[in-house]
Amino acid sequence: MTDATHDAAHGHGAPHASRRTYVIGFLLSVVLTAVPFWLVMTATLDATTTGVLIVAAAIVQILVHTVCFLHVNTQSEGGWTLMAYIFTAVLVLIVIAGSLWIMFHLNTNMMPMVDARSS
């Protein structure tokens, strides 16, 4: 048991960081960065489609970085890094989506006042 824990703790650094993982992660990130920039700078598609695509690319790229560069997996630290990561991701989503949702409705309700002030 101690051996397993020891191995897991050790496993966090050494065996996972291979040159191959880094290069694969880097190539994927280059594509996932270049495509959104290209879409926006050339305005090939309409704004809504572009918006959806670049947000999707960002989410995929964050996952690529997490796996290839940060080496988060089910083994590292006995799974605790992954648990903390998922927990944080949920909190981040709640904070951002919740704020946008609530403030959007508040803004809508405040509209008449904004109009009154600007006119």
Partner 1 sequence: MAADALNDTQAREPTFYLVEDEHHHEAGGSTLLGFWIYLMSDALIFATLFATFGVLSTAYAGGPIPREIFSLPLVALNTAILLVSSITYGFAMIAMQEGRLGGTKLWLIVTGLLGAAFVGIELFEFAELIHEGATPQRSAFLSAFFTLVATHGLHVTFGIIWLVVMLFQLNQRGLHPENQRRLQCLSMFWHFLDVVWIGVFTFVYLLGVLR
Binding footprint of partner 1 on the chain (CB under 8 A): 2, 5-6, 9-10, 12-14, 17-19, 22-23, 25-26, 29-30, 33, 36-37, 40-41, 47, 50-51, 54-55, 57-58, 61-62, 65-66, 69-70, 77, 80-81, 84-85, 87-88, 91-92, 95-96, 98-100, 103
Instruction: Give whichever of 37 and 74 is closer to partner 1, judged by the CB atom.
Output: 37
Handedness of CA 27, 32, 35, 37 (dihedral sign): negative
C-alpha torsion angle, residues 71, 75, 77, 78 (rounded to 10): 160
At 116, list the tokens: 């009154």
Instruction: Give whichever of 88 and 116 is closer to partner 1, judged by the CB atom.
Output: 88
Amino acid identity for residue 40 in this structure: V
Instruction: Give whichever of 95 and 119 is closer to partner 1, judged by the CB atom.
Output: 95
CA 71 vs. chain centroid, Å, equals 15
- Shortest distance in whole angstroms from residue 112 CB to partner 1: 17
- Shortest distance in whole angstroms from residue 7 CB to partner 1: 11
Distance between CA atoms of residues 65 and 54, nearest Å: 16
